[in-house]
């Protein structure tokens, strides 16, 4: 499902509906009878009682998941309601900060789509999604030479979200709860060179931690086939990071004798021939989407020479600047309606302080004549003068930096009380025709009140942004200017390179 060509995969997109429809139709032909999965909520009276209590505690949470999904958090915490609630809320916060609900909208780089090994095979007899990952064919070093680690992890996260989507879809299609999936990892080709490449272990550690904390009890079984002595050595190190109940679901099988136990658990009808199955349609096209198994392989030098890593995936426009030592950089956003302010950033050459403040705004009443004075056109012959006017206007009204896209059509964006319109086809702000259009209604426009003290939302504290991508989201109320603070004042001699992306999502 995730091996698409050019179209994005979203739960409600036409392409995704075509994929789901084609997959389900194929599975109905191959598996006329689906054995119902056991119901989590009814598996024991104690669990049912705890599930009812947990549901009551989470009434303040929007879009609460179905009961069979919610029960997984109780199973992961041995039916301890307090721990299950804390774990669920922490995961919800993580999803919001990382923007997980939008990961299926992200269009991955071509090298990931063509050389990340794996794919969706079908559903087992209980309706659980089955994924095949030929991990031994992964060229991690070649991959990381043209993409960032964050992009690799984002693509893996995309697989998880696609699998969760398929579970929910099959639950609706069959009427039986589906809450787990099966993974088959083929380690044929896994070498000592791969095992000793340090980023491989680092990424695996982060992925395991992410999976355990945010997708508890979703693993029905994992079959690791063609496992060499080298892999078994690595697995012995890695399994200490995995919870015991997850380790118990992992079956490590050698280079021979793996077909029988695999076929006892997974129908041969959905497995491609190289895994002992009879499915000859595993590379078929459904709509414009590819539903086959990508075999991975060595990344060609072409991609390593032309592909530029996307340091912060899924955020659109990215900005980079240098914050001098003993300096502070601030981004200001004045909000006119309720919205979420989402950010991601990383630094080079050390940690940085980060915090959020907000300041209440006033609403001066402006006439239409006054508004028209803010109309600015950046012409080529008066480029320097108009750039100064643009910067002065944005500073005066707390408008974030204008970002230019390369879209083929004209574009409009709204930031707080100012609408920016710019003509596409140019890459530099000075070459672009820009209009600042003040939106004035009967109540007037919001303007930051500089006469009052800013209120602390998140206290400035040092974060290890040079080691890990920092993400966050803040629910914003109208009538306030929100200030993102990047503080390098603690550094006496060293400047920091900051790369950041900010999105505003309206309700």
Tell me what percent of the chain is helix, strand and coil, each rounded to the nearest 5: 35, 25, 40
Residue 347, strand partner residues: 498
Distance CA 258, CA 251 (A): 10
Note the pLDDT of residue 212. 94
Phi-psi region of 109 (alpha: psi -120 to 50; beta: other; left: phi over 0): beta
How far is residue 105 CA from its own chain's centroid?
9
Note the pLDDT of residue 214. 96
Element (H, E) at 364: none
Distance CA 498, CA 225 (A): 43
Note the pLDDT of residue 282. 60
Residues 489, 490, 491, 495: is their CA dihedral positive or negative? negative
* Residues 6+ away with beta carbon under 8 Å from 374: 393, 436, 437, 438
Residues 55, 58, 59, 65: is their CA dihedral positive or negative? negative
Q: Which residues of the chain have pLDDT under 50?
A: 1-38, 41-42, 284-290, 367-383, 385-444
- The encoded tokens of residue 393 equal 């206007």
68: nearest Cα among 87, 53, 47, 96: 47
Note the pLDDT of residue 302. 83
Where would I find the H helices in 38-139? 45-57, 67-76, 81-98, 110-115
Residue 476, strand partner residues: 339
């Amino acid at each position: 499902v995730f091996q698409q060509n050019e179209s994005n995969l979203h739960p409600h997109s036409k392409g995704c509906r075509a994929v789901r429809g084609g997959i389900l139709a194929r599975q109905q032909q191959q598996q006329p009878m689906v054995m119902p999965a056991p119901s989590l909520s009814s598996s024991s009276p104690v669990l049912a009682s705890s599930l009812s209590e947990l549901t009551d505690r989470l009434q303040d949470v929007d879009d609460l998941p179905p009961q069979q999904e919610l029960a997984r958090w109780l199973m992961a915490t041995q039916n301890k309601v307090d721990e299950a609630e804390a774990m669920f809320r922490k995961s919800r916060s993580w999803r919001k900060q990382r923007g997980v609900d939008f990961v299926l909208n992200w269009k991955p780089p071509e090298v990931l789509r063509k050389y990340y090994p794996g794919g969706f095979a079908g559903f087992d007899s209980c309706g659980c999604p089955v994924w095949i990952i030929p991990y031994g064919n992964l060229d991690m070093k070649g991959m990381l030479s043209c993409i960032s680690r964050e992009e690799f992890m984002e693509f893996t996260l995309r697989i998880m979200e696609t699998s969760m989507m398929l579970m929910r879809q099959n639950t609706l299609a069959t009427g039986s709860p589906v809450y787990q999936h099966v993974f088959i990892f083929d380690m044929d080709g896994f070498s000592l060179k791969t095992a000793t490449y340090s980023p491989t272990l680092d990424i695996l550690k982060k992925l395991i931690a992410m999976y355990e904390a945010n997708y508890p009890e979703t693993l029905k079984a994992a079959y690791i086939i063609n496992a060499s002595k080298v892999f078994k050595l690595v697995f012995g190190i890695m399994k200490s990071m995995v919870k015991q109940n997850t380790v118990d679901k992992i079956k490590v099988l050698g280079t021979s004798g793996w077909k029988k136990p695999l076929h006892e658990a997974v129908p041969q009808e959905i497995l491609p021939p190289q895994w002992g199955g009879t499915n000859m349609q595993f590379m078929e096209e459904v709509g414009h989407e590819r539903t086959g198994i990508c075999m991975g392989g060595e990344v060609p030098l072409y991609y390593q020479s032309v592909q530029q890593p996307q340091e912060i995936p899924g955020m659109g426009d990215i900005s980079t600047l240098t914050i001098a030592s003993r300096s502070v950089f601030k981004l200001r956003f004045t909000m006119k309606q309720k919205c979420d302010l989402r950010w991601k950033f990383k630094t080079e050459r050390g940690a940085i302080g980060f915090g959020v403040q907000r300041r209440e705004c006033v609403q001066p009443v402006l006439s239409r004549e006054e508004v028209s004075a803010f109309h600015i056109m950046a012409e080529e012959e008066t480029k320097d003068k108009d750039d100064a006017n643009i910067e002065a206007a944005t500073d005066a009204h707390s408008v974030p930096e204008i970002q230019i896209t390369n879209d083929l059509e004209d574009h409009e964006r709204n930031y707080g009380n100012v609408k920016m319109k710019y003509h596409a086809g140019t890459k530099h702000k000075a070459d672009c025709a820009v209009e600042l259009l003040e939106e004035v209604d009967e109540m007037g426009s919001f303007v930051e009140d500089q006469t009052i003290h800013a209120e602390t939302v998140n206290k400035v504290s040092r974060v290890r942004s040079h080691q890990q991508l920092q993400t966050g989201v803040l629910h914003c109320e109208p009538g306030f200017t929100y200030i993102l603070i990047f503080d390098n004042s603690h550094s006496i001699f060293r400047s920091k390179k900051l790369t950041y992306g900010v999105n505003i999502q309206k309700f």
